[in-house]
């Protein structure tokens, strides 16, 4: 299946000059969604994670069914103030400003093998911040899985030297 055919391109969103890759058309296609989860499962099973970590919010969409297929736990990484127990927090730079992510401190035991999943790898800032949370929890990053990678933005170069899987590259 050619997943690129299921990604809608929206020019000048969210601002002029940006070509937005919209995954909602992939999500609404039952065969495309099933194939995406199946291929992520096939490619990521070799990492033998104990947990899948997904970033708010689209990382949840792909991370939960992947964790189910791999028979491992799912850990959400959220924006500040969304998690009720004690959290690790990381602030990171955006193109214009800063943002923060949080993860429960008791989400997984130290030494756990962790796979990070998200819909998109662009500049790598969100994934890099998520790695910092995993490190604070004294867990071991075993790989990344992304549905889409925007290669020209160089996000891969910001990330640790572990396997990175991208199903679609632009």
Per-residue model confidence as pLDDT tens digits over 51-81: 999 999 999 999 999 999 999 999 999 999 9
Pairing of β 8-11 and β 19-22: antiparallel
| Candidate list 21, 78, 95, 113, residue with the active-site label | 95
Give yes or no: 8 in active site.
no
Q: Which positions ≥6 away from 158 have C-beta within 8 Å?
A: 123, 124, 125, 127, 128
CATH of domain 48-169: 3.40.50.2020
Query: Would residue 58 show up in a list of annotated catalytic residues for this protein?
Result: yes
Question: Please, are residues 90 and 100 in contact by the beta-carbon 8 Å criterion?
Answer: yes
pLDDT at 41: 98
pLDDT band at 96 (very low <50, low <70, confident <90, very high): confident
Beta-bridge partners for 143: 115
Task: List the catalytic residue out of 56, 58, 113, 156.
Answer: 58
Secondary structure element (H or E) that encloses residue 52, with its range: strand 51-55
Question: For 109-161, what is each residue's pLDDT tens digit?
Answer: 999 999 999 999 999 999 999 999 999 999 999 999 999 999 999 999 999 99
Q: For the chain, give percent helix, strand, coil, nearest 5.
A: 35, 35, 30
| Residue recorded with tokens 């170069």 | 157
Using CA atoms, how far apart are residues 18 and 127, in angstroms rounded to an integer? 21
Break the chain into its structural domains and give their ranges. Answer: 48-169
Query: How far apart (Å, rounded) are the C-alpha atoms in residues 131 and 6?
Result: 29
Question: What is the reported pTM?
Answer: 0.96
Helix (H, G, I), strand (E, B) or coil at 140: strand
């Amino acid at each position: 299946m050619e997943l690129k055919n299921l990604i809608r391109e929206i020019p000048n969103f969210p601002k002029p000059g940006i070509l937005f890759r919209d995954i909602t058309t992939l999500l609404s296609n039952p065969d495309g969604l099933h194939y995406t989860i199946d291929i992520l499962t096939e490619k990521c099973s070799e990492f033998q994670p104990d947990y899948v970590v997904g970033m708010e919010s689209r990382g949840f969409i792909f991370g939960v069914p992947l964790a189910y297929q791999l028979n491992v736990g799912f850990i959400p990484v959220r924006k500040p103030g969304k998690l009720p127990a004690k959290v690790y927090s990381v602030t990171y730079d955006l193109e214009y400003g800063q943002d923060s992510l949080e993860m429960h401190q008791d989400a997984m035991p130290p030494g756990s093998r962790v796979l990070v999943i998200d819909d998109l790898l662009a500049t790598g800032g969100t994934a890099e911040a998520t790695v910092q949370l995993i490190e604070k929890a004294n867990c071991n990053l075993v790989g990344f899985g992304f549905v889409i990678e925007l290669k020209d933005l160089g996000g891969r170069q910001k990330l640790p030297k572990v396997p990175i899987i991208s199903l679609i590259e632009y």
